Chains A and B, each alone.
Chain A
Amino acid sequence: MKMNIAEYKGVFVFAQQVDNKLSGIALELIGKGKDLAKDLNTEVTAVLVGHEVKDLADELAAYGADRVILVDDPELKEYRTEPYAHALSSVIEKYKPEIFLVGATAIGRDLGPRVSARIHTGLTADCTQLDIGDFPMNPIPGKEQLHNQLLMTRPAFGGNTIATIACPEFRPQMATVRPGVMQKAPKVEGAKAVVEEFNPGFTPDDKYVEILEVVKSVVDTVDIMDAKILVSGGRGVGNPENFKLLDDLAEVLGATVSCSRAVVDAGWKPKDLQVGQTGKTVRPNVYFAIGISGAIQHLAGMEESDLIVAINKDETAPIFDVADYGIVGDLNKIVPALTEKLKAELANKN
């Protein structure tokens, strides 16, 4: 079943919103979508799905959306897989975009596969780079070289390999992208959106699950992805109380505390502080890895940091393979001493 590829035009972006607030990833994808649309000589459209969310359209335009398709229905108030999958699939069937981008969030990584399976197209997850190019990348005799393909680059194998994927015979070419990887376009204040309303109709069936309760995490800390300096702790910190050493260091540096997966699994810290493959990808200016062994899945989330300083008593810890400066020693002695000395240094400067 070959689709008529030529019919499919336009770069579409799923504008994820939660509680009537646009997620950062939506704006980042529009930013990247603009670049792709430019290469393809086409437009970038944001697909806004929810209930009573029309007000968000202008913000989408401010960050670069040429057009906003609004799917607004009471069934869409809180995210559920089925009505949202129906919304996006219907949009795709009607508007036939050649590219559809979705955030690689807990929502997108559930919604994306469901939609791609419904449509029967390819989906590439967790892309770190998106380009328009040729497939095959280098011409192969006897094989047609297609142009204007979306080339989706992503890590696999826990970060051990980088693969570039294409979806030459199916449309739309779908990709999920992690937050923090792409850049938002500069905001154009006062922009007004071109909104097109579309409602394919939502009839609840067995696939519509029932939401019994929504429980929000109590979070009063800075998003670790926004932090310029991270002081990150691992299992080596020993116990939750001992994180005070890291809190003190972070305070002196104006930094934010984050952690490894082991710490979250042990229940010492909440998941939104987790750095790593299944946590958040961070690119701070400075990343202190304290009592973190450096499993590949953790490195995948922080190795793009500009400067990595590691403190660990185990000299064979893999973290030392990526640290710019690695100190083999006891964090319980080094961290408090570092905090004290820094306080003194910074006091002197002032």
Chain B
Amino acid sequence: MKIVVCIKQVPDTKGGVKFNPDGTLDRGAMLTIMNPDDKAGLEAALRLKDEYGAEVTVITMGLPKAEEVLREAMAMGADKGILVTDRVLGGADTWATSQTLAGAIRNLEYDLIITGRQAIDGDTAQVGPQISEHLGIPVISYAQKIQIEGDSVIVERQFDDRYHVLKAKMPCLITALAELNEPRYMTPGGIFDAYKADITVWGRANLVDVEDSNLGLKGSPTQIAKASDKVRKGAGEKVTLDPTEAVDYIIDKLKVKHVI
């Protein structure tokens, strides 16, 4: 079985963020991690590999630095890593990103594509379903459990107040929730092996069935009109009191604010 996992290197949103003059993110300047939903997707793929013996390929679209997240995935157990990077791909919205990834994936054989539900920088949850649309395969989003049955997948698909148990024929695309599993750690040996392995690097020329008009900033239907740091609600008072005093303090404030 061949599984392709889309992963993204994202800024660790605990730090601050910076912008380029045209309103797009200055991603070069930050502390980065593997997107948590993607890591869960990768773990799901690795568990399928452990159980059924699959080949797991991780693919990412990003700056050259994104290679680090491929190495991390390989240190966890992924077999191959592909970096899709090219200047013309920059500034892409979800349409252009999904076009790019679909174009790259068309080079590969796959039974299953797994993406994370959403990235913690864009927070859109759009790229996964859009890739499946471009490739013409079914999509099951918000997967909280994945199993294989012959040539189909059986997936528990989460909704706000219920879940569906769905069956879909492969090839199909699944988007994973971070709650799906507890990802394994890399192993120390895995890290050194990952750096010895070759990463495949693809550019625009390697994308199959994708027009230039659908790539990068120019190919993005949505455009940024304005972007700025959010003015966070400021901190109020902070006190350290013993329990009795703390209780009086709280009750006093609740009265002042007419809560009680």
Q: Which residues of A contact B (CB under 8 A)?
A: 1, 18, 78-82, 85, 105-107, 109-110, 112-114, 116-118, 120-126, 135-137, 151, 155-170, 206-217, 219, 229, 253, 264-265, 271-272, 277-278, 285-286, 295-297, 299, 303-304, 307-309, 311, 315, 320-330, 333-334, 337-338, 341-342, 345-346, 349
Q: Which of B93, B118, B220, B225 contacts A164 (CB 8 A)?
A: B225
- Chain B neighbourhood of A299, CB < 8 A: 232
In the complex, the answer to whether A81 meets B138 with C-beta atoms within 8 Å is yes
Look across to chain B and name the residue whose beta carbon is closest to the beta carbon of A340: B247
Known contacts A325-B237, A337-B244: does B126 contact A166 (CB below 8 Å)? no
Q: How far is the CA of A272 from the CA of B232 in the complex (A)?
A: 26
Determine if A113 and B221 form an interchain contact, defined as CB atoms under 8 angstroms apart: no
Q: Is the Cβ of A113 less than 8 Å from the Cβ of B226? A: no
Nearest-CB distance from B222 to chain A (Å)?
A: 4
Give the residue name and chain of the B residue nearest to A126 (CB). Answer: B123
A207 to B23, CA, bound (A): 37
Q: Are A322 and B222 in contact (CB under 8 A)?
A: no
Assembled-state Cα–Cα distance A286/B255 (Å): 12
Select B233's contact among A126, A295, A303, beta carbons within 8 Å: A303
**Chain B residues whose C-beta falls within 8 Å of the C-beta of A330 in the assembled complex:** 243
Interface status of B205 (Cβ within 8 A of chain A) = no
Q: List 22 A-B contacts (CB under 8 A).
A: A80-B166, A106-B142, A106-B160, A114-B139, A118-B133, A122-B93, A123-B95, A125-B124, A135-B225, A165-B223, A168-B223, A206-B138, A209-B167, A211-B166, A212-B167, A217-B162, A217-B163, A277-B120, A277-B123, A320-B235, A323-B236, A329-B246
Contact of B221 among A112, A159, A169, A342 (CB under 8 A): A169
Given A207-B138, A328-B238, answer yes or no on A158-B13 (Cβ-Cβ < 8 Å): yes
Interface of A is mostly: mixed
Contact indicator A161/B227 (Cβ below 8 Å): yes
- What mask results when residues 159 to 201 of chain B are scored 1 for a CB within 8 Å of chain A, else 0? 1111111111100100101110000000000000000000000
Q: How far is the CB of B14 from chain A (nearest CB, A)?
A: 6
Smallest Cβ-Cβ distance to B182: which chain A residue: A265
CA distance A229 to B240 in the complex (A): 24
Which residue in chain B gives the minimum CB-CB distance to A156?
Answer: B123
The listed residue (A112, A169, A211, A341) touching B247 by CB distance below 8 A is: A341
B247 touches A229 (CB 8 A): no
Please measure, in the bound complex, the distance between the C-alpha atom of A124 and the C-alpha atom of B222, giving whole angstroms.
7
Inter-subunit contact B123/A125 (CB<8 Å): yes
Please name the residue on chain B nearest to A305 by beta carbon: B233
Size category of the binding interface on chain B: 35 or more
List of B residues within 8 angstroms of A166 by Cβ: 222-223, 225
Q: A113 to B139: give the CA distance in the assembly, Å.
A: 11
| Docked complex Cα distance between A6 and B44 (Å) | 46
Taking CB atoms, residues of chain A closer than 8 Å to B179 are 264-265, 271
Let me know if B250 is at the binding interface, CB within 8 A. yes
* B19-34 interface code vs A (CB 8 A; 1 in, 0 out): 1000101000000000
Whether B13 and A325, one on each chain, are in contact in the complex, defined by CB atoms closer than 8 angstroms, is no
Residues of chain A within 8 A (CB-CB) of B240 are 315, 327-329
On chain A, the residues within 8 Å of B25 by CB distance are: 157
Asked if B242 is an interface residue, CB under 8 A from chain A, the answer is yes
B230 touches A160 (CB 8 A): yes
Instruction: Find out whether the CB atom of B246 lies under 8 angstroms from the CB atom of A334.
Output: yes
In whole angstroms, what is the CA distance A328 to B165 when docked?
45
Q: Is the CB of B228 within 8 A of A136?
A: no
How far is it, in angstroms, between the C-alpha of A277 and the C-alpha of B118 when the chains are bound?
Answer: 11
A315 and B162 alpha carbons, distance in the complex (Å): 38
CB-CB nearest in chain B for A338: B247
Q: Is the CB of A164 within 8 A of B140?
A: no
Question: B residues within 8 A CB of A116?
Answer: 95, 126, 130
Task: Give bound CA distance, A162 to B124, whole Å.
Answer: 13
Q: Are B16 and A160 in contact, with the CB atoms below 8 A?
A: yes
Select A334's contact among B13, B163, B236, B243, beta carbons within 8 Å: B243
Query: Chain A: which residue is nearest B102 at the CB level?
Result: A117
Known contacts A157-B17, A215-B165, A345-B251; is-contact A117 B160 (Cβ 8 Å):
no
**Of A79, A216, A333, the contact of B243 (CB 8 Å cutoff):** A333
13 new A-B contacts at CB < 8 Å, known A161-B229, A327-B239, A334-B243? A118-B133, A121-B221, A161-B19, A163-B227, A209-B138, A209-B172, A214-B163, A297-B120, A309-B254, A325-B239, A326-B235, A328-B239, A334-B246
Task: With CB as the reference atom, state the residue of chain B lying closest to A169.
Answer: B221
